[in-house]
Structure 1
Amino acid sequence: MIEEDFRLPSELSLGSADIRILIDDETNSGTLPRKPASEYEAFDKLKRSVEECPNDLKRWDKVFVALDDKFEQLYDPDQSTKPENGSDIDSKFKEYVRVIYQDLLNRFPYLSEYWKKYLILEYKLNGIQSSIDVLEDSVRQFPHSIDLWSDYLSALISQYELIEDTSKREEQIKFIKGQFGLCLDKNGLHFNSDPLWDSYINFEKSLNENQESSKDILRIYLKLIRIPLYQYAQYFNSFVEINKSFEISEIIEGDDLSEYLQKFQKTSIDELSLIEKHQIIDDYSYAVFTKTQQAVNDKWTFESSLTIQGFNILDLDSTEQETEKWNSYLNYEINNLKKLESSKEKEKQFQFDIIIELFERSLIPNCLFNKSWLKYLAFISIFQEESDSKYARIKGIYDRAVSKFIPLNETYFRFTCVDFLMKYDKFEIANEYLFDLIKLYLGQTNNKMYHQREYLLSVRELLKLWSNYVPSSVIISTLDDIITSYFDEVDRYKSKTNEETSKYEFKPAYVSTLENLLNDQSICIIISEYLEYLKLYPDSSNPTKIREFFNKYFQVNAVAKSTFFWKFFVEYEGMIQHNMTNLKRIISFMKSYSSLPKSVVDALLDLNYEIISANYAQTLKESNGFPEESIISYNCDISNSVVMNKSAGERIIHNNHFIHSDIETRLSRGRQQTPSDTKESLLRLARKQADSPGLFRDFTPEITNKIEDKWIPLNTSEIETPPLPTFKNVEKAASSFTHPK
């Protein structure tokens, strides 16, 4: 069966609002004239080119360049309306900009430079608040970007400084602190996250008049001196400057403090002198610093080798070569976690969080490679303890990878999600997940492309899920109803009786949903599953059901193209039932009525030859001593000649062929035709056109004054020059084809 992708027509959802053209009085009022509707045709053409190849950033750039050029024509930097409140450019252009940028960034959220271009243009078009909204959306979709978080938090702080109302300032402080919490939760362990920590410290200092006594700042530094960051020494020096201003119990807690008291032979903090307290703080701080310094030095070996840390779709080959460096880095950190097996839970959790942060960093340049995601999932599965949060974390990773990043042709990764869901007994969610995949590949979502291979694999994966977790009797009944409904349009909701029960509820909605997602290719997968179940399921009536199925559907167009269908029945009758009479009939029908490629037909004829040869005694008995015809005609049946291989000609031009009606019409003009007349006429036409594959004609150009039958004498040096050739049917042969409807 030949697989061929086709593209469904795309839709442009930019609205159809009319563009008003300003009259002279409005033009003279100081504003630019409105852009006429025809000027958007160029943008529409560029956007359609992007929809044809949405992964081509060069095409996207052409759209953005056109938008920037048009913006420069429309934007007046000296306009009376201030940028804080937005520009006076027409709303359709603003909507166009928003749709273009969001289409790209929803598809590739890790393109930080395009987020920045978008927010700058949004600021010029709609003011500061709209640009902040863009930044908020950017960190929501790309939460592991240091640059975007820095810009977003800086914008929030700048807006906060302009607020005069006390209650609103307090409310904004809480909001900004919450955003800092989200930011550092995602990026606080990033080796190069010092811009975020600096911004956080400066913001906290601005809120505290007595900076040295601020416990909030102390808590920040107590975290920082333990994190292996590029600027670790700077934070340690800042911590040393303020740590003497706090009580020793605020710096050292738990077992660490008890160990120091024992060293100084004290039972409580109150017994320590000021000098002893400072000695303990210095010793403790230096021990932490030494440990952090060693971690930074070890990490620097890997950090310094990373040349690609951002997302770059234009050079995926270089990025893939860089993947091995990330894997080595991750393996190093994972080995560090293994070494902490007998350590405190707090230390293991800290190292676990460092690895999670590193995985998220590695996925930025490698987000299109499923191996990186699979490594991430394997780490979570092995090293995180079973809990609801573990399921939620893995499910979130799958959702991100499947919906945003993994290319559509990567079906293996998507199907591993089904195994994960069933590990947690999520049968209903697994069904819905596979239905969504089938719709995606069928072109029923925003992706309007039909992906044939992936679609058929998804249907097969759904049937695999059902066969693993639903009783066989239910599967047989369900598949029978689906096939009958597809071809005969019977009542698909008829009640079921005497069915086995299973651990999972098999809802009727599953069947109706699948029926609406089938085509002539996927129904063959349903048929193959159904026939395999009938063959394996122990029921004495199944052989009868199988043969009745063949008799009912072997001439249906969808089934005529199914390799599995014909192979199944050749093997079933010849190798399981050993019914040579039925096998002979199946081979005869296959040669005449199937729409299989010749290579497949030849392979099945080879199989039939082997079966007949292995059961020749039984074949002679069933045919009353006459040799089996298929053995005698074997060489002709596999011949590539239309003249010798009559069955091939019949199969090519059987009753479904488009020229059949034309032949019948011609024959009916003279006399009453018979089916044999029609077949013979078609075969003669096929032989006549054997050297010219394609659409058939009932005439071919011919030379009328051939010289091949004239002798040329060899005993004379004077040879008569033959006349130029003349032809017939040349004009007809050059006429246009009449294509079938």
Structure 2
Amino acid sequence: MSSSSQLVFRSDIESSPPAEVSGGPGLPSEFGRIGELTIEARKDPNDIRKWESLFNELERVHAEQSATVAKKSTMELLNQLTIKGYDALLSRFPNLSEYWKKWSIFEYKLRGNKSSIEILETAVEKVPYSIELWQDYLNALVLTYEKNDDEQKRFIRYRYEKALRLNGYNFNSHPLWDRILEFENSIEEASEVSLKLYLKLVRYPLYEYARYYKQFTNIYKKFKIKDLIPEKDLNHYVSQYNQKSYETLSIIEKSQIIDDYFQKIHNNTQQEVSSKWQFESTLTFHEFSLTYMGEINAAVDNWVNYLNYEIKAFDFSSKDGYEHVVSLFERALIPNCLDGKIWLKYVAFLNKIKLAEAEKFGLIKEVYNRSINNFVPLTENDLRSFYVKFLLKSDKVEVANEYLFDLIKLFSGTKNTKVYLKSQYIVSIRDLLNIWSKALDQSEYFNTLEKLVNNYFTEQESKSRKVHNESTDVYIPLKKGRIDKVYLNTLPNLLNDDSIPVVSVLYLQELLKRKNFLGIRRFFNKHHTEEVYKSSISFWKFYVEFEGFINFNITNLNAVMKHVKTETQLPKNAVDALIDIHYDIVNANLVDLYDTHDTSLLIQKDLETSDSPVQNSSLHTRLANNNYIIREVEEGKGSRGKNSASTSNREDLILKSFKSQNGHPGIIIEARPEITNRIMNPGNWISLVKPDVPPFPVFKNVEKANMPVNYPTI
């Protein structure tokens, strides 16, 4: 990974770890299945059941070894495997607060308070918006606090100030506030520090708002009025009492002012709580859990409705208070961290806030990096595409270019993932080439596309091409007007049968911009039978529109459509869509075409788009030409023997196959009832003028009509 992009992809698709990390085959027999379960969990890190099985086995072996007073070296190895297990799981899913707590307890038993606190400190850095983890962390700090230790007191205050800055506005943050107030009251009751906390607390719409207001009313009259009420508001009250200064107010007047001022604040807080409660009451999951992921996904709309309400109520003309909406987003992302839509909604909100460009860029980039690197699965590509657009909008062309190269390598099935993610790979190729189209001189861009396409087919002709070659390279920044050789040398090795049609269509579009119609048709004549284009919708759509809309060459259009309908491997809905385009062109120009071109499509369109392979002749021709069973028969691999299926009887074979699978696609039925003396057969015609009565039908295979279907076993 290049240093400038600073991205480390953490994925749900990872290679298995080395033996010494995973608890490999060299473990002592008394370790049970720890090694095996560790490898299984690392191979499928999204399966929480495998992780639970691993930690259950670790606990069992720990208990056994502790009871038998195991060797020191044995316990050290067991402890090391346990720590590595926690580290691996929480690196993949940092929001699993339950396992952070378990790890801290394990460290406490193993090494004591200091080590346990270090784990909790790491936890709140990784999951800074978890009330539960902050509460445990602050509890641990307070329990180790020695009274009158000023340095330790300052450290605890420094930590809880961060906790409140991030989570103080959380509707359910009362456990955090209680722990902090308890700590401050243990030092000094009704101190100035406590007062500052309460002055914030009574303004926050929290679940326990009424309790905190009552606590505040018990102490606020112990303080001077100037310490309670801001000068601007206090001057307003002074003028109402016809006084020149708050110092001339009587004790009763001061008491009335304080009561009135904070009662208004309380009333306003109460209204906010009431408005939020309609949403807060619907939130059933506040913590991340793989066990209940289905229920969490089902309840995500409740979070979205809440976020929409807060965003609508926010005043975008001022940035004041945006942290409160950010806090709600961060709360929502704890249980829903794998949902790319919430992350994109978060980015959209940050984009609308009035902030300095540099500050806004930093906030949004941090959100993108967190979501892409730690949470959103690789199978969700929308977020990554939006990140590329964000980088381009921010004039970070070089970073976007390098980032996409990293994505292409990741998705293309290299040793980093060992899994080929086709859709994500193709989107990344397309995004990369779109960047090049904007960053390069147009002639250089055109030449690059041409070289990529020519190089691909030249390699195919000369040798057997390896689809997923790896390339070792050092990135050189993209520069206006050219592409460094490193990129040009790397990209051809990352192209495959799925991506070359994308490059080809972009190349054809460039030819079209140059009005090089001859070049477009030469390309078609040379390459239209290539296997790589048989399943490319964009390739055939380009040529249908080129011949139909741009050139209005009906002869060529008919030829293209004939090939589409009989030789390609396009999905039927794609073929039907192209037939619709063909039909519209012919129908709109019927007068001009009637005498010179075949217009039978106007009559046969319903047949051409029929789902029945019997009625739709082009459909069963297309299926026959691309059916693997028939290919095996032709190549001598089927049961009929070599060369038993010629081109002329392919369609008969495919229709017979459909017939044998009637009602059970993919399930072969050996026989079905058939009439042996059909009256419509040649030579058996029935005269309508003679009184002869046709014979009753005679059936074969009747006994097999009701036999159960033999489904294949898995």
TM normalised by structure 1 equals 0.68
Bigger drift between 261-270 and 462-471 goes to 462-471
Contact 1:563 1:596 in 2 (8 A): yes
Give the equivalent residue in structure 1 for 2:203: 226
Displacement of 1:156 in angstroms is 2.5
Closer, same or farther in 2 for the Cα pair 1:39/1:583, shift >3 Å? farther
Q: Could you tell me which of 51, 61, 64 is aligned with 2:55?
A: 64
Q: Could you tell me which of 9, 12, 15 is aligned with 1:11?
A: 15
Matched, 1:416 2:386: yes
Q: Deviations over 1:96-136 (max 9, x none)?
A: 32333333323332222222223223333444433323212
Q: Could you tell me which of 451, 461, 476 is aligned with 2:446?
A: 476
Give the equivalent residue in structure 2 for 1:538: 514
Give the equivalent residue in structure 2 for 1:101: 86
Displacement of 1:94 in angstroms is 3.0
Q: Deviations over 1:440-483 (max 9, x none)?
A: 33244854422212222332233344446655434322211222
State the SS of the aligned residue for 2:514. coil
Matched, 1:257 2:234: yes
Amino acid at match of 1:155: A
Displacement of 1:248 in angstroms is 2.9
Displacement of 1:70 in angstroms is 1.6
Bigger drift between 219-228 and 481-490 goes to 481-490
Displacement of 1:149 in angstroms is 0.7
Matched, 1:349 2:349: no
Gaps of 5+ in 1: 1-6, 22-34, 81-86, 491-501, 664-677, 694-707, 709-741
Q: Deviations over 1:476-511 (max 9, x none)?
A: 222112223334469xxxxxxxxxxx9967643554
Give the equivalent residue in structure 2 for 1:727: none
Q: Could you tell me which of 111, 130, 133 is aligned with 1:148?
A: 133
Closer, same or farther in 2 for the Cα pair 1:567/1:196, shift >3 Å? closer
Amino acid at match of 1:112: S
State the SS of the aligned residue for 1:314. coil
Amino acid at match of 1:184: L
Identity %: 37
Decide which structure has the larger Cα Rg and report it: 1
Displacement of 1:687 in angstroms is 9.1
Closer, same or farther in 2 for the Cα pair 1:477/1:195, shift >3 Å? same
Contact 2:13 2:417 in 1 (8 A): no
Matched, 1:288 2:258: no
Closer, same or farther in 2 for the Cα pair 1:47/1:446, shift >3 Å? farther
Q: Could you tell me which of 146, 169, 178 is aligned with 1:189?
A: 169
Give the equivalent residue in structure 2 for 1:28: none
Contact 2:501 2:533 in 1 (8 A): yes
Displacement of 1:151 in angstroms is 0.9
State the SS of the aligned residue for 1:161. coil
Closer, same or farther in 2 for the Cα pair 1:276/1:524, shift >3 Å? same
Contact 2:93 2:374 in 1 (8 A): yes
Say how many residue pairs are matched: 626
Q: Deviations over 1:661-701 (max 9, x none)?
A: 999xxxxxxxxxxxxxx9999659979977679xxxxxxxx
Contact 1:439 1:445 in 2 (8 A): no
Amino acid at match of 1:395: K
TM normalised by structure 2 equals 0.71
State the SS of the aligned residue for 1:110. coil
Q: Could you tell me how far apart the structure 2 residues matched to 1:653 and 1:321 are?
A: 41
Amino acid at match of 2:514: P
Q: Deviations over 1:501-557 (max 9, x none)?
A: x9967643554554343222111111111112211x135xx2343344345545655
Q: Could you tell me which of 38, 43, 49 is aligned with 2:34?
A: 43
Q: Could you tell me how far apart the structure 1 residues matched to 2:636 and 2:162 are?
A: 73
Q: Could you tell me how far apart the structure 2 residues matched to 1:55 and 1:227 are?
A: 38
Matched, 1:131 2:116: yes
Contact 1:189 1:357 in 2 (8 A): yes
Contact 2:37 2:50 in 1 (8 A): yes
Amino acid at match of 2:54: V
State the SS of the aligned residue for 1:16. helix
Give the equivalent residue in structure 2 for 1:364: 334
Displacement of 1:155 in angstroms is 1.8
Matched, 1:202 2:182: yes
Contact 1:486 1:515 in 2 (8 A): yes
Q: Could you tell me how far apart the structure 2 residues matched to 1:18 and 1:370 are?
A: 31
Matches of residues 492-507 of structure 1 in structure 2 within 5 Å? Answer: 507=483
Q: Could you tell me how far apart the structure 1 residues matched to 2:651 and 2:178 are?
A: 84
Give the equivalent residue in structure 1 for 2:523: 549
Closer, same or farther in 2 for the Cα pair 1:324/1:583, shift >3 Å? closer
Matched, 1:122 2:107: yes
Matched, 1:307 2:307: no
Give the equivalent residue in structure 2 for 1:449: 419
Q: Could you tell me how far apart the structure 2 residues matched to 1:377 and 1:276 are?
A: 49
Q: Could you tell me how far apart the structure 1 residues matched to 2:33 and 2:417 are?
A: 23
Q: Could you tell me how far apart the structure 1 residues matched to 2:297 and 2:130 are?
A: 21
Give the equivalent residue in structure 2 for 1:266: 243
Gaps of 5+ in 2: 1-10, 461-477, 659-675, 677-714
Closer, same or farther in 2 for the Cα pair 1:238/1:88, shift >3 Å? farther
Give the equivalent residue in structure 2 for 1:393: 363
Contact 1:591 1:651 in 2 (8 A): no
State the SS of the aligned residue for 1:154. helix
Indicate the RMSD between aligned Cα atoms, in angstroms.
Answer: 5.3
Q: Could you tell me how far apart the structure 1 residues matched to 2:271 and 2:56 are?
A: 48
Closer, same or farther in 2 for the Cα pair 1:298/1:572, shift >3 Å? closer
Give the equivalent residue in structure 1 for 2:348: 378
Contact 2:547 2:557 in 1 (8 A): yes
